[in-house]
Amino acid sequence: MRAGDLYHLAAELASEHGADAVHFARRAIVEFERTGAADRAAFWTVLSIFLDDIVTHRLDPEAPIVLN
């Protein structure tokens, strides 16, 4: 999945669930790490970063994302 796709997914989750989406992502990370699913934990880690930035208004979900 591309970074832009993850960003849009995070924006949709944040729009629908607000700050709860961050908690969902963090629980998913812990669970996938516990079960040894490192690739899934990594996916949710990136999603969690986007969610946190969107929920705390450091990123505008309506603006295009720029990755450096």
Instruction: Specify the pLDDT at position 68.
Output: 72
Side chain identity at residue 64, one-letter code: P
CA-nearest of 53, 38, 39 to 7 is 53
- Backbone CA torsion sign across 32, 59, 18, 10: negative
pLDDT band at 6, cuts 50/70/90?
A: very high
What is d(CA 65, CA 34) in angstroms, rounded to the nearest whole number?
A: 31
pLDDT digits (tens, 9 = 90+) for 23-53: 999 999 999 999 999 999 999 999 999 999 9
Q: pLDDT above 70 covers what percent of the chain?
A: 100
What is d(CA 15, CA 26) in angstroms, rounded to the nearest whole number?
A: 17
What is d(CA 52, CA 33) in angstroms, rounded to the nearest whole number?
A: 19
Domain ranges of the chain: 3-55
